[in-house]
Chain A
């Protein structure tokens, strides 16, 4: 056992940090499942109501992202970005994650994430 002492300590440290971040995360999010915010380069571009089906294009100096809202969910369905990771992410609803298009600086995030990131500060303050 002594042979693995260092291994065990390091593994425990990593797993503890995982647990700590996991707890912060599950405490923090009380997002509205019916709406999301779309940011480009950290600036709030528009709030989207997911209960209304819609299709539109977000254009910025980086390029375009085609957004589809359907059945209370939202996806990036087309883009001229590198890698198309945003398209691969598929559909999300307002409380189960994010869509990021890093090459275009685009982030679709649950509402309740204010641009002043109030939620985050609260999570740290407690």
Chain B
């Protein structure tokens, strides 16, 4: 029992580190989607893996830590607020899909990606009075398709590393 918990914590640390690296890369490459501050959310990979390997509450922890740490290390306050809303909405939707069951990782992740972008657009609507109807209509299709594709890629990557990670985790189980 204790070794299980210890292993989960180690795994969460690893996944959080991966999330931070991906966030850093994203901030460097400047994959902003025309809408200022909207990021693709490649670091969702870690949240996805945590849902699969450990559980939904733990994934929530990773999700919040990832945004707060990445925001304070190589971002700014507004990036943190946008990221938090996008990530939480995306996390919520992915968690619901996992609970319902029958969905596969790439599609779960792609749906998460769409809501990640929508969440950021929602914050932009609430924190500023800048955006008009036309702007939103102009960007919604862009946000949907880019979120979908980014999420799909993330999900496919998650699918590819899942067997290896599962093997590593199970191996540890039998020896301890």
Contacts and interface: CB of A to CB of B under 8 A. Distances in A.
Interface string B111-139: 10010000000001001111111110111
Nearest to B127: A102
Q: Is the interface of A mostly helix, strand, loop or mixed?
A: helix
Interface residues of A, number: 44
A22 B133 CA distance: 14
B144 interface: yes
A25 interface: yes
Contacts of B100: 6
A41 B35 CA distance: 16
A102 B102 contact: no
A14 B148 contact: yes
A126 interface: no
A75 to B, nearest CB: 14
A10 B96 CA distance: 13
Nearest to A110: B134
A103 B128 CA distance: 8
Interface stretch (B18-26, B71-79, B84-92, B167-175): B71-79
B138 A25 contact: yes
Contacts of A83: 36-37, 76, 78-79
Contacts of A98: 135, 138-139
A117 B136 CA distance: 12
B63 interface: no
B107 A10 contact: yes
Contact of A89 (B36, B127, B134): B36
Interface in B44-81: 76-79
Given A7-B106, A10-B107, A121-B133, 17 more contacts: A6-B100, A6-B102, A14-B110, A14-B148, A25-B138, A28-B137, A29-B134, A29-B138, A42-B129, A42-B132, A82-B76, A85-B32, A88-B36, A102-B124, A102-B128, A105-B130, A123-B137
